[in-house]
Amino acid sequence: MLPTSQSLLDRLRKQHDPQAWQRLLTVYEPWLRAWLSQHQLQPADVEDVLQNILLVVSQKLPAFVHNGHAGSFRRWLRTILVNQVRYFLRSRRQRQALDAEPEPDWLEQLAAPASELSQQWDREHDQQLVRRLLAAIQTEFEPRTWEVFRLLVLENLPAAEVAQRLHMERNAVYVAKARILARLRQELQGLVDP
């Protein structure tokens, strides 16, 4: 079980924590791969760019400072992705002695914070992060506690119905929900904007 005194971001920035890095990879690697795959990169190129993104993240994360929306982790990560794709395309053109070509439209849109594509990135980031972190922390809780959370939060059933189904007091249902939400908020601290 991971320590609960610090957020995932804090553990990644301040310590050499292999479990935290594994969690970061579990959460972000598939999502970043999917983003790169959607935008005219060959599978081998996707893997190269992805590895470069992760390398930059590992090198620069200790210096990352979250300072409100402009300093959000997802924006920082988006900037790294855009820069690494730009670098990759530029390097490929140079290796193949190709004439300069305009930057792909999707890359320009992703670089612009107010664009629809950037807003889509932000929404997907938060949804993906919550979904994957919930899966990662599930094992930290008793199955019954998790079932309360699943029914109450994920299936949106009324507390009275959840309590009745699981033969629990309604107050115990709220306590179970609060424990999991507190743990999730802890992991999300600094990775999503409040």
Q: What is the pLDDT of residues 17-72, one digit of tens each?
A: 888 888 889 889 999 999 999 887 889 999 999 999 999 999 998 888 777 655 58
Q: Is residue 106 part of a domain?
A: yes
Give yes or no for residue 193 having a pLDDT over 70.
Answer: no
Q: Is residue 187 part of a domain?
A: no
Tokens standing for residue 126: 């938060």
Cβ atoms of residues 158 and 173 within 8 Å:
no
Q: Is residue 177 part of a domain?
A: no
Q: Is residue 25 part of a domain?
A: yes
Beta partners for 192? 189
Q: Mean pLDDT, to the nearest integer, of 6-20?
A: 78
Q: Is residue 174 part of a domain?
A: no
Query: Could you tell me the pLDDT band of residue 150, with boundaries at 50, 70 and 90?
Result: very high
Q: Is residue 66 part of a domain?
A: yes
pTM greater than 0.75 (yes/no): yes
Q: Is residue 191 part of a domain?
A: no
Instruction: Give the pLDDT score at 57.
Output: 93
| Per-residue DSSP letter, 100 | P
Please give the Cα distance from 23 to 51 (Å, whole number). 16
CATH of the domain at 75: 1.10.1740.10
Query: Could you tell me the pLDDT band of residue 88, with boundaries at 50, 70 and 90?
Result: very high
Q: Is residue 27 part of a domain?
A: yes
Q: Which of 1, 139, 12, 121 is nearest to 64 (CA)?
A: 12
Please give the Cα distance from 121 to 126 (Å, whole number). 9
Range of the domain at 129: 8-139
The domain total for the chain is 1
Give yes or no for residue 194 having a pLDDT over 70.
Answer: no
Share of the chain above pLDDT 90, in %: 56
